[in-house]
Structure 1
Amino acid sequence: MKLFCCQACGQMLFFENVRCERCSRRVGYCSEGATLIALDPADGEGGVGVGGWLPAGGDASAPRMFCVNAEQDACNWLVPAGTEDQFCVACAFNRVIPDLTVEGNLELWRKLEAAKHYLIYSLLLLKLPIKKSVEAADGGLTFDFMDDPLGGEDGQKVMTGHDEGVITVALREANDAEREKMRLEMGEYYRTVLGHFRHEIGHYYWNVLVRDAGQLEACRAVFGDDSQDYGAALTVHYENGPPVGWQATYVSSYATTHPWEDFAETWAHYLHIVDTLQTAMAFGLVVDTTTPEGDGLERHFNFDPYSAGSFDEILKAWLPLTVVVNALNRSMGQADLYPFVITPVIAEKLRFIHQLVHGLPLADAKLEAA
């Protein structure tokens, strides 16, 4: 994630900011320019932006409007310039949102929206194809944010998942206590709302960039045969757990379930890596853990992880950074920020995702599938 700056007073701004803490101006995210804009109400001093907002400094451009979800403090994005859209680029993909009249749902929905906006930010910077769904199974993307039904039979709950472009996210995932409980019950190292979004969008892009783009054989050479029965594979995983030694070839235990899940988990980690690297570089974070011999872990980087031509460049930046951030967390008595090991096999899976994302020639090497 980039850092931003208030154009009016120079104050540092963060992606989530809705107002500058120094000059109190309203700020809005412009998806076309990937920047936060300091704004003044178009209706003049003392106005409240009913007539739109203008960039601070008296820019004569047409007034901009906020996404209607800003009224619920669930969005800080501007709608695309020159349109009469009600929703911003990110919120336009919503099909179902929770019942906001139910106590507590608004706060939980805001957390889901915050994570989804991080996701859409990344997809736009990576210039990935992203089409809004118009109707079911049209190859487009849509989000359903759903609460568990009241009085559901046999404790029926909404399941987070993907189905032909429809990404369903269970509202309870935004409840920190519930999510941590599920993490422990499932023996996971890591479970976050943003992680769910990045995983499920991986399934969507398997459809778009692999299945529908004629890359099935290339993907199978790396992740295995996806034609095996998914339901049966899921049953085996939950009954028997991951195979012994899975850490050598899979980024997570859940990735061992089926090639689709291996792809989605690896995709999610690729997004974790590029966005965290962008954040580190925005802060000027330099890793310097030199050893007496060789070049050690010292690295000085100055590139955009979202547009890097070489995956090796990303990996060389990422590995020493994980050492440092994990050590920082331990110093605070916290679990590792990135509790995963990128082995050579996992690195090649990540390289495949990188090549797929950027439209580069796909690696020919066949990886050993566990």
Structure 2
Amino acid sequence: MKLFVCQACDNVLYFENRACERCGHRVAFLPEKETMSAIEPDGEAQGGTSQGGTSQGGTWSSLANKGESRMLCSNAEYDSCNWLTDAGDTTGYCRACRHNGIVPDLSDQVQLAGWRELEVAKHRLFYSLIRWKLPLQTRQDNPEHGLIFNFLADDPNSGEKILTGHDNGLITIALTETDDIERERRRLEMGEPYRTLLGHFRHEVGHYFWEVLVRDGGKLDECRAVFGDDSVDYGQALQRHYAEGAPSDWQQTYVSAYATTHPWEDFAETWAHYLHIVDSLEMAGEFGMEVRPKVDRDGELTTRIRFNPYEARDVEAIVNAWLPFTFAMNSVNRAMGVRDLYPFILSPAVVAKLGFIHSLVRNVAKDKAKAGKP
């Protein structure tokens, strides 16, 4: 994730800001420029009222795009989105929200608050997908396999529990995951070192891109050589995992215990970790972070994050920066009495799997550049 600046006063902005806290300008994300922009209403805008007292409807002039007029996403009405729609858009939704299918009952304040949390994680996911120029079709573009998100609440009447998962482009996220206590209970029950909303989004979209980039992209044999034979029965593999757990030596070849379940889960887990690593390193680089331990005589724990991980040529550059950075951050976290920022081991086998993901996403951008596509 980048750091952003208000064009009106040069104040540093968070990705989630709706208004600049210094000058009060409304701000919004401009996806094609991958930046936050201060915006001003074009004339008398119609609609509700935003944080800064300005109206949300009508068109807005973007300071980052030479005053071009845009609309705010329709979900700004619910304070769940701070993105601008594309030029010429007819849906009323931004690049991230046009992938929404079912949302919770927004008249219920608890469900509305939970949905807003989900949208924060979803928009961070889409930031990465857009940075890599990955193919993003909606269900309107591709009714059979477009990417769509359903955010569903448990049914208190029937007792039906919603499970987070992926099915042929449809990603279901359980609203229950926004309950911190319930999410922690599930983390402990599953024996997971961490469990986050953003982690769910990154994992589930990994299943989608396995289908798009691997299965349908002619990379199946290459992927099987790295992750194993995905034709193994998934249902049986899942039952075996929950009955027997992960092998005792799983850390030698897998990034997480759940990754041992099936090659599909191994790919999705590795995909999620790749997104974790790249986006976190970009943020660290934006702050000019440098790690130089006083006791590190051989330089193994020293790094200067001065490169863009989204454009790194090879995965080794990413891993060589990530390992010292996370060792430092884990040490700081322990000094505060909290869990490690990144409680995982990147074995040589896992690095090779991350390298496959790295090549996969970089080749998409290369192919688009050769074709002259944005």
TM range (shorter): over 0.9
1:66 pairs with one of 66, 69, 72: 72
CA contact (8 A) 2:258 2:266 kept: yes
CA contact (8 A) 2:56 2:72 kept: no
In the other structure, the counterpart of 2:87 is: 81
In the other structure, the counterpart of 1:7 is: 7
> Counterpart of 1:160 in structure 2: which amino acid?
T
- Residue 191 of structure 2 aligns to a residue in which SS? coil
1:294 pairs with one of 298, 303, 321: 298
> Counterpart of 2:202 in structure 1: which amino acid?
R
Post-superposition CA distance 1:142-165 (Å, at most 9, x none): 00100111222xx43111000000
1:219 pairs with one of 197, 201, 223: 223
Report the aligned-residue RMSD.
1.9
In the TM superposition, residue 55 of structure 1 has moved relative to its aligned partner by 2.9
CA contact (8 A) 1:65 1:78 kept: yes
In the other structure, the counterpart of 1:366 is: none
In the TM superposition, residue 135 of structure 1 has moved relative to its aligned partner by 8.2
Does the alignment pair 1:191 with 2:195? Answer: yes
In the other structure, the counterpart of 1:91 is: 97
In the other structure, the counterpart of 1:43 is: 43
- The 10-residue stretch of structure 1 (42-51 or 86-95) with the greater mean CA deviation from structure 2: 42-51
Partners of 1:8 and 1:60 in 2: how far apart? 12
In the TM superposition, residue 84 of structure 1 has moved relative to its aligned partner by 3.3
Equivalence map 1:258-277=2 (5 Å): 258-277=262-281
In the TM superposition, residue 43 of structure 1 has moved relative to its aligned partner by 1.4
In the TM superposition, residue 88 of structure 1 has moved relative to its aligned partner by 0.5
- The 10-residue stretch of structure 1 (167-176 or 47-56) with the greater mean CA deviation from structure 2: 47-56
In the other structure, the counterpart of 2:363 is: 359
CA contact (8 A) 1:42 1:49 kept: no
> Counterpart of 2:76 in structure 1: which amino acid?
A
In the other structure, the counterpart of 1:119 is: 125
- Residue 341 of structure 1 aligns to a residue in which SS? coil
> Counterpart of 1:37 in structure 2: which amino acid?
S
In the TM superposition, residue 295 of structure 1 has moved relative to its aligned partner by 2.5
Partners of 1:316 and 1:207 in 2: how far apart? 30
Give the TM-score taking structure 2 as reference length: 0.91
- Residue 274 of structure 2 aligns to a residue in which SS? helix
Percent identity, aligned pairs only, is 53
The structure-2 alpha-carbon separation of the partners of 1:75 and 1:50, relative to structure 1 and needing over 3 Å to count, comes to: closer
In the other structure, the counterpart of 1:109 is: 115
Unpaired runs of 5+ residues, structure 1, are 361-370
Unpaired runs of 5+ residues, structure 2, are 46-52, 365-374
- The 10-residue stretch of structure 1 (52-61 or 293-302) with the greater mean CA deviation from structure 2: 52-61
Partners of 2:318 and 2:348 in 1: how far apart? 14
Partners of 1:292 and 1:225 in 2: how far apart? 42
The structure-2 alpha-carbon separation of the partners of 1:358 and 1:70, relative to structure 1 and needing over 3 Å to count, comes to: same
1:162 pairs with one of 159, 166, 181: 166
The structure-2 alpha-carbon separation of the partners of 1:60 and 1:343, relative to structure 1 and needing over 3 Å to count, comes to: closer
In the TM superposition, residue 81 of structure 1 has moved relative to its aligned partner by 1.9
- Residue 280 of structure 2 aligns to a residue in which SS? helix
Partners of 1:158 and 1:233 in 2: how far apart? 21
- Residue 84 of structure 2 aligns to a residue in which SS? coil
Does the alignment pair 1:321 with 2:328? Answer: no
> Counterpart of 1:53 in structure 2: which amino acid?
W
- Residue 96 of structure 1 aligns to a residue in which SS? coil
The structure-2 alpha-carbon separation of the partners of 1:4 and 1:156, relative to structure 1 and needing over 3 Å to count, comes to: same
In the TM superposition, residue 56 of structure 1 has moved relative to its aligned partner by 4.4
Give the TM-score taking structure 1 as reference length: 0.92
Partners of 2:141 and 2:62 in 1: how far apart? 36
Partners of 2:138 and 2:66 in 1: how far apart? 32
In the other structure, the counterpart of 2:237 is: 233
1:311 pairs with one of 309, 315, 326: 315
- Residue 321 of structure 1 aligns to a residue in which SS? helix
- Residue 77 of structure 2 aligns to a residue in which SS? helix
In the other structure, the counterpart of 1:52 is: 59
In the other structure, the counterpart of 1:253 is: 257
Does the alignment pair 1:338 with 2:338? Answer: no
- Residue 71 of structure 2 aligns to a residue in which SS? coil
CA contact (8 A) 1:40 1:49 kept: no
In the TM superposition, residue 137 of structure 1 has moved relative to its aligned partner by 6.2
Equivalence map 1:12-31=2 (5 Å): 12-31=12-31
- Residue 28 of structure 2 aligns to a residue in which SS? strand
In the TM superposition, residue 358 of structure 1 has moved relative to its aligned partner by 1.0
Partners of 1:346 and 1:227 in 2: how far apart? 21
Partners of 2:58 and 2:164 in 1: how far apart? 39
In the other structure, the counterpart of 2:205 is: 201
In the other structure, the counterpart of 1:175 is: 179
Partners of 1:171 and 1:188 in 2: how far apart? 19
> Counterpart of 1:90 in structure 2: which amino acid?
A
CA contact (8 A) 2:3 2:13 kept: yes
> Counterpart of 1:208 in structure 2: which amino acid?
V
Partners of 2:312 and 2:208 in 1: how far apart? 23
- The 10-residue stretch of structure 1 (294-303 or 187-196) with the greater mean CA deviation from structure 2: 294-303
Partners of 1:57 and 1:225 in 2: how far apart? 48
The structure-2 alpha-carbon separation of the partners of 1:290 and 1:216, relative to structure 1 and needing over 3 Å to count, comes to: farther
The structure-2 alpha-carbon separation of the partners of 1:311 and 1:260, relative to structure 1 and needing over 3 Å to count, comes to: same
In the other structure, the counterpart of 2:156 is: 150
- Residue 29 of structure 1 aligns to a residue in which SS? strand
Partners of 1:117 and 1:308 in 2: how far apart? 23
The structure-2 alpha-carbon separation of the partners of 1:136 and 1:166, relative to structure 1 and needing over 3 Å to count, comes to: farther
In the other structure, the counterpart of 2:134 is: 128
> Counterpart of 2:35 in structure 1: which amino acid?
T
The structure-2 alpha-carbon separation of the partners of 1:161 and 1:57, relative to structure 1 and needing over 3 Å to count, comes to: closer
